[in-house]
Structure 1
Amino acid sequence: MEEEVDYEVLPTTSVATNMLAGALAGITEHTVMYPLDSVKTRMQVLSPSPQAIYTGVANALSRISTAEGASTLWRGVTSVIVGAGPAHALYFATYEKCKEVFSSKDNIHNHLAHAGAGACATIVSDGLMNPFDVIKQRMQVHGSTYRGVVECGLDIMRKEGLAAFYISYPTTLMMTVPFQAVHFSTYEYFRKILNPKGGYDPKTHIASGAIAGAAAAAITNPLDVAKTLLQTRGAASDTKVRQASGMIDAFKLIYTRNGLAGFTMGAKARMLSHMPATAICWTTYEFLKMVLSKQPGFANEPIVTPVNPSS
């Protein structure tokens, strides 16, 4: 009988392990669920053209595929692949290091430690990922004529300057810091509840990841609507949208046009995207971290006291 892997007492994983596992997990997460992300972006645009008004996720997927071709759902995915690798490498390396620093040495689940580590991780990774996210959303909107990531990026730089890539960064942080705080603390909590023995268990990572992704996506959707408005404003025909200068302007416009319901735009697509995406990301990350920790050069020397079992 194959010996069960005691996942929680593996030697401390190195920064290289966390970065490589995180990069591969991030690319996998974003590419697999990319069509739903495209639908979410389309549904969050404040003043869409008549051809881009959808009644639901299934309707959007069907109409986009039929009218524009199935490949349209993947427009801009290269930007995610290029940006997600290094961004997620920094993301997970920062998370693991901060979790180690913030956590206590006992077995008690520390919500604040995991939430704080998640917040630190997202500040670092979003600084790198934000320009790629702007390019991605410009290519996702209805009527986009960009043929590639480089063409889109250069056009934005020429017409709107460097600031266009970071105008949404404060809003992104306002969204992703609570998103990741909820995400990480929820994931770690359910991972501990569903698998108290701490053995490597893919089913636990899938379930915990899906629950964490859904909860974080639902709570932060209003900020995501504002972020989409700011990142796609350069492609809008609406003068007021084009003149939005930050999160407050975005909130005012969304509320003026659609009331409180405006902040729920794309929520279902976002949750449907994040549930499997987060489950895939965590399952890939935990698996690769386990495998790589056993490879020469990827694991630190074994230590007498194992990593905090609650982490």
Structure 2
Amino acid sequence: MDFDDYESLPNGSVGVHMTAGALAGIMEHCVMFPIDSVKTRMQSLAPSPDAAYRSIREGLMKMVNSEGIMRPLGGVSAVVIGAGPAHALYFSAYEGIKARFASSNSLQNHMVNAGAGCGATILHDAIMVPADVIKQRMQMYNSPYASCYDCVRKLYRMEGMAAFYRSFTTQMAMNLPFHAIHIATYEKIQTVLNPDREYNPRVHMVAGAAAGAFAAASTTPLDMCKTVLNTQEASALVHLQQSRVVGILGAFRTIYIMNGMSGFFKGTRARVLYQMPGTAISWSVYELFKHMMSQRRSESPPPLWDSDLLKDNVVRESVTETDTSIKSSGSEGKVPVLTLGSTTNKTVERLRSLHMPTITANCAAADDSWLRK
């Protein structure tokens, strides 16, 4: 399959990107949600002895044994509701920006990819930040909320609408570099391992996992700040003698007072292990869906007149009236006439392969009709 066939999706490609992105996002977050639950608890500033985990495996075992088999999935419905539209906007915006500013210059393309990731992140976070707040409140040990709906209702009643966007600036400060690093790394690995940009599940998975791991490790301190702002951990607030943690600077101060410099890197391993398979799944599902749509496009029969050539003004199509005595299959003939502009041998060959059989058949039918007369 040609690069152009794979990279350019059929008409309505925005819808295709949004659908593929939504499926990829939901699968990524749902499959890796138990690991994310452990990561949130490992980032606790003052964990309960019953929720102090030394490893992901230990955390999952303790959660299941003491709180039930479904406890690692507490809050997953918030992610399902948020991840679909958030990732739909993310991938469609990313592809749109990348296509709009693509360049033949390699360095400039890396900058475009990183910029596309940053631009898409703004739309993504507008939806995902409130979902993250609900999710992390549900994931905490001894969470006082019975369900996601109960969490939304109580949060709004007690802390107002601001509670859902308290970590927005922090999450943006984290996600902008995260997605810039993530996208640039993914595209770079693709360039090295898959220069023809064909559909290659193994490369998509490896590139996605490596990009996610590198970006996750680089932005862990900001993720820690986001968790502190989202959870507003009661034991930490009591220790600091304050009602709540406000802003990214307040989060930095709280972490440093409670745990020192090492506190900024709590849960790094869990975050990396969560992001690696998560981003691998996300990119694999997205590229698979994109490949399936491009396959459908390549298998569809070509139109009589090549719309791409007409759109590029390489060919101008006109229809001329002919003598009504010349008929083909019993109907009045309207013979399509091609007028070639400046073009290349490749374009001429493409025209010939697409249209000459039809034109030849029409001419033969007209000759037969004339001879019979």
- Kindly tell me: are residues 148 and 292 of structure 1, through their superposed partners in 2, closer, same or farther at Cα, counting changes over 3 Å? farther
Whether 2:283 is the aligned partner of 1:275: answer: no
- 1:265 corresponding residue in structure 2: 266
User: What is the root-mean-square deviation of aligned Cα atoms in Å?
Assistant: 2.1
- Kindly tell me: are residues 226 and 129 of structure 1, through their superposed partners in 2, closer, same or farther at Cα, counting changes over 3 Å? same
Deviates more, 1:80-89 or 1:256-265: 256-265
Which structure 1 residue ranges, 5 or more long, are not aligned? Answer: 306-311
In structure 1, how many angstroms separate the alpha carbons of the residues matched to 2:176 and 2:289? 25
- 2:213 corresponding residue in structure 1: 214
- 1:71 corresponding residue in structure 2: 70
- 1:170 corresponding residue in structure 2: 169
- Kindly tell me: are residues 167 and 11 of structure 1, through their superposed partners in 2, closer, same or farther at Cα, counting changes over 3 Å? closer
- Kindly tell me: are residues 237 and 251 of structure 1, through their superposed partners in 2, closer, same or farther at Cα, counting changes over 3 Å? closer
Query: 5 Å matches for 1:135-284?
Result: 135-233=134-232, 238-239=237-238, 240=240, 242-284=243-285
Q: Secondary structure at the match of 1:147?
A: coil
* Deviations 1:103-123, CA, capped at 9 Å, x for gaps: 214667721111000000011
- Kindly tell me: are residues 207 and 159 of structure 1, through their superposed partners in 2, closer, same or farther at Cα, counting changes over 3 Å? same
* Deviations 1:110-151, CA, capped at 9 Å, x for gaps: 211110000000111101111111000000000013222111
Deviates more, 1:19-28 or 1:149-158: 149-158
If the length of structure 2 is used for normalisation, what is the TM-score? 0.76
* Contact 1:6-1:200 at 8 Å conserved across structures: no
* Deviations 1:175-222, CA, capped at 9 Å, x for gaps: 000000000000000011111222110000000000000000000000
* Deviations 1:35-68, CA, capped at 9 Å, x for gaps: 0000010011212222111112221111111111
- Kindly tell me: are residues 7 and 29 of structure 1, through their superposed partners in 2, closer, same or farther at Cα, counting changes over 3 Å? farther
* Contact 1:8-1:198 at 8 Å conserved across structures: no
In structure 1, how many angstroms separate the alpha carbons of the residues matched to 2:293 and 2:233? 43
In structure 2, how many angstroms separate the alpha carbons of the residues matched to 1:71 and 1:48? 21
* Deviations 1:249-291, CA, capped at 9 Å, x for gaps: 1101111221111011111000001000000000000011121
Q: Secondary structure at the match of 2:177?
A: helix
- Kindly tell me: are residues 167 and 302 of structure 1, through their superposed partners in 2, closer, same or farther at Cα, counting changes over 3 Å? farther
- 1:16 corresponding residue in structure 2: 15
- Kindly tell me: are residues 279 and 143 of structure 1, through their superposed partners in 2, closer, same or farther at Cα, counting changes over 3 Å? same
* Contact 1:7-1:290 at 8 Å conserved across structures: no
Deviation at 1:91? Answer: 0.4
If the length of structure 1 is used for normalisation, what is the TM-score? 0.90
- Kindly tell me: are residues 50 and 279 of structure 1, through their superposed partners in 2, closer, same or farther at Cα, counting changes over 3 Å? same
Q: How many residues align?
A: 298
* Contact 1:236-1:242 at 8 Å conserved across structures: no
Deviates more, 1:57-66 or 1:222-231: 57-66
In structure 2, how many angstroms separate the alpha carbons of the residues matched to 1:219 and 1:266? 13
Whether 2:118 is the aligned partner of 1:122: answer: no
In structure 2, how many angstroms separate the alpha carbons of the residues matched to 1:302 and 1:129? 40
In structure 1, how many angstroms separate the alpha carbons of the residues matched to 2:7 and 2:141? 49
- 1:132 corresponding residue in structure 2: 131
Q: Secondary structure at the match of 1:110?
A: helix
Q: Secondary structure at the match of 1:190?
A: helix
Query: 5 Å matches for 1:14-53?
Result: 14-53=13-52
- Kindly tell me: are residues 237 and 262 of structure 1, through their superposed partners in 2, closer, same or farther at Cα, counting changes over 3 Å? closer
In structure 1, how many angstroms separate the alpha carbons of the residues matched to 2:204 and 2:184? 13
Q: Tell me which amino acid in the other structure corresponds to 1:157.
A: Y
In structure 1, how many angstroms separate the alpha carbons of the residues matched to 2:136 and 2:29? 13
In structure 2, how many angstroms separate the alpha carbons of the residues matched to 1:10 and 1:203? 17
- Kindly tell me: are residues 234 and 163 of structure 1, through their superposed partners in 2, closer, same or farther at Cα, counting changes over 3 Å? farther
Structure ID, larger Rg: 2
Q: Tell me which amino acid in the other structure corresponds to 2:253.
A: K
Which structure 2 residue ranges, 5 or more long, are not aligned? Answer: 301-305, 312-373
In structure 2, how many angstroms separate the alpha carbons of the residues matched to 1:262 and 1:98? 37
In structure 1, how many angstroms separate the alpha carbons of the residues matched to 2:232 and 2:307? 52
Q: Secondary structure at the match of 1:238?
A: helix
Q: Tell me which amino acid in the other structure corresponds to 1:211.
A: A
Q: Tell me which amino acid in the other structure corresponds to 2:5.
A: V
Q: Tell me which amino acid in the other structure corresponds to 1:32.
A: V
- Kindly tell me: are residues 31 and 303 of structure 1, through their superposed partners in 2, closer, same or farther at Cα, counting changes over 3 Å? farther
* Contact 2:45-2:236 at 8 Å conserved across structures: no
Deviation at 1:25? Answer: 0.4
In structure 2, how many angstroms separate the alpha carbons of the residues matched to 1:161 and 1:43? 27
In structure 1, how many angstroms separate the alpha carbons of the residues matched to 2:7 and 2:111? 24
* Deviations 1:18-37, CA, capped at 9 Å, x for gaps: 00000000000000010000
Q: Which has the higher contact order (CA 8 A, sep 6+)?
A: 1
* Contact 2:5-2:294 at 8 Å conserved across structures: no
Query: 5 Å matches for 1:52-67?
Result: 52-67=51-66
